[in-house]
Amino acid sequence: ENIREVIAKGAKEIVLTGVNISRYESEGLKFSALVDKILNLDGDFRLRISSIEPDRFDEHFFTLVGHPKLAPHLHLCLQSGSERILLQMRRMYSAKDFMTIVERIRSVNPNFNFTTDIIVGFP
């Protein structure tokens, strides 16, 4: 309802942000289903997903990356390209998972852009 309201008031961009947003679930509605629901709202707006970890992408999400209302950009957390360091950091994903997601998204939308963050000096 909040999103419908701000779109009705003329908002041109909706940004989904939070900690571990790919793990979002409310009343059985998972993150990709929420994104789908927002993308299919009426109005002239764009949806941007701010920062997301590569540990919970499902097949449904990959069907959405070509949607014209979805901003073709993700800040996809990596933090280290080393599998050993990612394990030490207790991350729930691997560098391979990261690359698989990038490749899957780019297979649907070759112009999709990515940013990431790298932690230098861990531990």
Domain membership flag for residue 123: no
Domain membership flag for residue 120: no
Sheet of 13-16: strand order equals: 13-16, 46-52, 70-76, 113-115
* Residue 108: CATH number of its domain: 3.80.30.20
Domain membership flag for residue 44: yes
Domain membership flag for residue 121: no
Domain membership flag for residue 96: yes
Domains identified in the chain, total number: 1
Distance CA 62, CA 4 (A): 24
In DSSP terms, which residues pair with 15 in a beta bridge?
48
pTM value? 0.89
Lowest mean pLDDT among 32-36, 54-58, 82-86, 102-106: 54-58
Domain membership flag for residue 122: no
Domain limits for position 28:
2-115
pLDDT tier at 71, thresholds 50, 70, 90: very high
